[in-house]
């Protein structure tokens, strides 16, 4: 009489959180099956072939297709114990079945996660004993899965996710089960802290290197920042996007698996639309697609002869963006650009001692123009100060 309880769940942090809670509650009576989005339906269908009516089946954090839903429903009608718990909008239609509970947000507006919903289910049914460590563990996962951690700058949630990806699911489970079985707060031990710190240092170095490799290129109607990368893609896409607001999106190309990851920080750009052109899709702000022949030509072959962008000077005190005293940029093609605000709040460009006629509605617009057309970069304070001194001297001797 083994494996009376079966849990089918996702293999990401939120799904693994459900697996850990199930093991805390049901100990060795539960068999946990971790799945990718693509493998869940296959695994569930396979299990239903020989499922016993007296067994309990849980499915969390991933949705079942119609055929499986029908099979689950008929098993349920025969007296089968089935509980489906999810928080994805795309699964809401399953709420029509008595065995499904899909909830996207709480009454107070906070977003749910599969782990938080499954925890509440286990508590309500007295399957698990509450403690502070479990409470915190569940909340960290909920914040990570819903991106609330980013708004709250809750790096403990981010570190919990990093830790999962640094080891096997089994090792992560074992570590978490030990922490959650003892009283006290949820915290990382010395070894975990060291591992996480080392990983963070590695990431910072990697991002610094990648920032020097970014190439800009117009692809269709959008300006893309192109970089070859295969690690820390979500952090890299976010940082490159923030540092290059003049680019519509960032394309991170992995030559090994022939995939492109697309990220944007702009609300008016939909990268799932771009991905759709290359056998891909996803969300408006984060998508992925294949490195098809056409994508290879546009993103790789045509960008190969182009030089990487120069980085803007950091740590400036005087030559800073939107400065009312003017902002100085340099470029390989046309030399220095001095961006100056006009009395009416618009911006103008001085290049080679000549003021251009064109007026730009904002600093963002004028910077976008010189960066896109001349790959200009913000110069260091020293150059800015000597530029201003030189201009002042010229004015006096006129
Ligand atoms: Mn989830």
Q: Are 79 and 53 in contact (CB under 8 A)?
A: yes
Q: How far is the CA of 358 from the centre of ligand 1 (A)?
A: 50
User: Band of the pLDDT at 37, cuts 50, 70, 90?
Assistant: confident
User: Band of the pLDDT at 398, cuts 50, 70, 90?
Assistant: low
pLDDT at 150: 87
User: Band of the pLDDT at 184, cuts 50, 70, 90?
Assistant: confident
User: Band of the pLDDT at 3, cuts 50, 70, 90?
Assistant: low
pLDDT at 156: 96
Q: How far is the CA of 115 from the centre of ligand 1 (A)?
A: 7
Catalogue all structural domains in the chain, each as residue range(s) with its CATH number. 5-188 (3.40.50), 210-301 (3.10.310.30), 327-397 (no CATH)
Inform me whether the pLDDT recorded for 35 exceeds 60: yes
Pairing between strand 347-351 and 337-341?
A: antiparallel
Q: pLDDT tens across 241-291, in order?
A: 999 999 999 999 999 999 999 999 999 999 999 999 999 988 889 899 999
pLDDT at 89: 87
Mean pLDDT of 110-123: 97
pLDDT at 67: 95
Q: How far is the CA of 307 from the centre of ligand 1 (A)?
A: 40
Q: How far is the CA of 9 from the centre of ligand 1 (A)?
A: 10
Kindly tell me the burial class for residue 305, based on how many C-beta atoms sit within 10 Å of its own C-beta (0-12, 13-18, 19 or more): exposed
Q: Are 277 and 290 in contact (CB under 8 A)?
A: no
How many other C-beta atoms can be found within 10 angstroms of the C-beta atom of residue 124? 9
Helix (H) or strand (E) holding 384: helix 381-397
Q: Are 230 and 389 in contact (CB under 8 A)?
A: no
Q: How far is the CA of 224 from the centre of ligand 1 (A)?
A: 30
Q: How far is the CA of 84 from the centre of ligand 1 (A)?
A: 13
Q: How far is the CA of 64 from the centre of ligand 1 (A)?
A: 14
Q: How far is the CA of 61 from the centre of ligand 1 (A)?
A: 5
CA distance 66 to 242: 41
Q: How far is CA 97 from the centre of its chain?
A: 32
Q: How far is the CA of 178 from the centre of ligand 1 (A)?
A: 23
């Amino acid at each position: 009489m083994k494996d009376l309880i079966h849990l089918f769940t996702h293999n990401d942090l939120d799904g693994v959180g459900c697996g850990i809670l199930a093991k805390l509650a049901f100990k060795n009576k539960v068999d946990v099956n971790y799945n990718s989005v693509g493998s869940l339906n296959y695994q569930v269908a396979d299990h239903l072939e020989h499922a016993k009516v007296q067994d309990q089946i849980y499915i969390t954090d991933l949705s079942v297709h119609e055929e499986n839903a029908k099979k689950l429903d008929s098993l349920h009608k025969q007296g089968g114990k089935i509980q489906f718990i999810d928080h994805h909008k795309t699964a809401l239609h399953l709420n029509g079945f008595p065995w499904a509970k899909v909830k996207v947000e709480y009454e107070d507006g906070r977003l749910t996660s599969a782990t938080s919903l499954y925890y509440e289910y286990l508590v309500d049914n007295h399957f698990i004993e509450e403690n502070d460590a479990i409470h915190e563990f569940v909340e960290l996962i909920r914040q990570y899965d819903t991106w609330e951690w980013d708004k709250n700058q809750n790096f403990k949630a981010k570190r919990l996710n990093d830790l999962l990806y640094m080891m096997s699911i089994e090792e992560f489970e074992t570590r978490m089960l030990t922490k959650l079985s003892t009283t006290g707060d949820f915290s990382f031990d010395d070894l975990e802290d060291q591992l996480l710190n080392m990983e963070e240092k590695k990431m910072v170095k990697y991002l610094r290197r990648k920032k020097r490799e970014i190439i800009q290129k117009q692809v269709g109607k959008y300006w893309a920042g192109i970089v070859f990368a295969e690690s820390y893609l979500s952090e890299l896409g976010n940082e490159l996007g923030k540092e290059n607001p003049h680019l519509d999106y960032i394309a991170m190309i992995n030559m090994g698996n022939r995939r492109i990851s697309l990220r944007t920080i702009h609300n008016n750009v939909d990268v799932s639309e771009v991905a759709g052109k290359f056998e891909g899709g996803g969300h408006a702000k984060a998508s992925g697609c294949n490195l098809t022949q056409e994508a290879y030509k546009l993103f790789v072959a045509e960008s190969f002869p182009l030089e990487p962008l120069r980085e803007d000077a950091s740590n400036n005190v005087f030559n800073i963006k939107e400065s009312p005293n003017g902002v100085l940029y340099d470029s390989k093609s046309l030399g220095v650009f001095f961006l100056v605000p006009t009395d009416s709040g618009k911006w103008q460009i001085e290049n080679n001692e000549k003021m251009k006629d064109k007026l730009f509605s904002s600093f963002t617009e004028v910077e976008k123009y010189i960066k896109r057309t001349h790959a200009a970069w913000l110069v260091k304070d020293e150059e800015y100060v000597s530029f201003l001194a030189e201009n002042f001297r010229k004015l006096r001797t006129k």
